[in-house]
Structure 1
Amino acid sequence: MAEGPAVPPVPPAGFETGVPVSLDAMAEAIAAFDFERPTAEALARISTLRLVLPPALSVAGLDPLSDAYRERMLAIYAHVRFGGEGAARRYDPAVDELTGREVGNAFTELSPWSIDGSALMAEHFYAWGHVLKVLDVRRRDSVLEYGPGGGGLLLALARLGVAACGVDIDATWLGHIEAQARAMGITVRTEPNRFGRGFDGERFDRIVFYEAFHHAFDFMAVLAEVRAKLKPGGFVVFCGEPVVGHAVDFLPYPWGLRLDGDAVRCIRRHGWMELGFTRDFFVRALGTAGFDVEMIPFPGCGRADIYKATPPA
């Protein structure tokens, strides 16, 4: 679930080498951001900012799958969210991934429909279309989406006659999806739960993460749980995730908190975990969890790139 995009809508010139700023300067930029009706241009502009971390928070030399690395990343989260205060406060998805956001019209006031800009909306259509093509499902096939956000993709699957299920830790957002489904005369099943869990005892033909997996701090455990929820021959699709080709200034490590202004605003305002991954590490993580991986790019739109993860036969 994400109110803002996982990656900037149209990466501006110099996106990978943005403007380095202190945490105080970043907080000022976030305070000036229009949260009620954000524009694609404002999102691209704030995304050019890069938070500079203190040297003490470096993860250099640590194994990215080690407990020490994870603890250092939690310290970076505390620094970004609390500005050096409240370091004893631990990230807790049951608290920090909630918004409880009520809206008057779920069809127009939820992301991505709430963002002002048709070019940005087009990117989501590209991505949803690419996901539907790769899923290749028929009526009565089952699809479980984790973190369905405003429900755009999940509702499209339900309209196709697919058994569409959604899991999100925020029951309020699931309620918005159910309200849309009732108005459209279609059926979706939802359950408030953490990633990797929900719909106990059921297995699915396909599982989808769209702009959602980057909220999973314990992502290796999530991958193991997700693998167990697949039917034989099933696979997992990851799309819209912030996976970059190599370490860059807003992601100067194999995986961890993204330091661009858009990610920092989500951490500061909501408390969300906003991770990013280098491609090599993401593929390594999926392989370690027991998946064969295929990367399926979408020319001209990084948001629509797909990683297809399939357990070996």
Structure 2
Amino acid sequence: MAKVQEDLRALDRLHGTVAVVGSMNVDYTITTPRLPEPGETVTGGPLELLPGGKSGNQAAAAALLGAQVRMFGAVGSDANAVFLLNHLNAAGVDVSQIKRVDGPSGLTVITVDDAGENTIVYSAGSNAQVDVEYALSKSEELTSASVLGLCLESPIETVTQCARLCHDAGVTVLLNNSPFRAQLPQELIDHADILLVNEVEMTQLLGVEEPDDWDAFDWDDAVNRLAAMGFRQSVVTLGGDGSMVLDATCSQRVTRIDPVHVKALDTTGCGDSFMGTILAALASGQSLQKAARLASYVSAYAATGRGAQASYGTPAQIKAMFEE
């Protein structure tokens, strides 16, 4: 219990400035006893509309934890745009830099089974209109942050431009290679300080087989391979098995972060809450290892609720669950 309390005390010290560029989606979510097989129809429960989008989720998670978060991106001219902006604002995210465009906002169709596993289909909508010109017009606001969060639900040219702008200005750039791309622009790699991927994405990026036992995996070799690609610091999430911090810049090259066990209700958005925590912790001066440790608690808390942003907790809620 003392170790848990020590880990969670970091929640009281999150205050830094974070910029997040990317996607905002309305999640059309249906729960089913099990996920359908290809070509199969299964009966689900009532349709729920929940706020989501990988970048919006990450921004909301970081803001709820106490970081000063500014969101950059685009919403459409539909009712979903108001829905998304209201939820981000309620989480404490500064939405003043988000642009409005004609047409639909981004959306996802999500199926969640009784075990909390999910399938997701993404429609970009307004997210596809977050262009390079927009990024350049927001350069002063972007580079005023301590940390920048990026994922790949926006045009890759825009993501690359934002990484370059911020990295050159001394802002730490955290890149979530999701939705996964096996080939990333070299300019994006050169301007990303930290990579965040899950275990499947890491093996695909490195072109290696996914092992039956992650404890037997050669993590030191993974550090070398990722560093050779240009990623000298990485975090690899392992689902229910915790995560790994891989760091070619220090003597402790491999750090295992133990999982926090909960009974999962819905894992939608858990990875985004993990990244949002990393963003908030890094912006507040925490080490990458401590940030990943804290993120384990925050993402575990999110797995006990339904939806993405709707399941995220405040520091008080997270501490209350795990200190008990």
Q: TM-score, normalised by structure 1?
A: 0.34
Of Structure 1 and Structure 2, which has the larger fraction of its residues in helix?
2
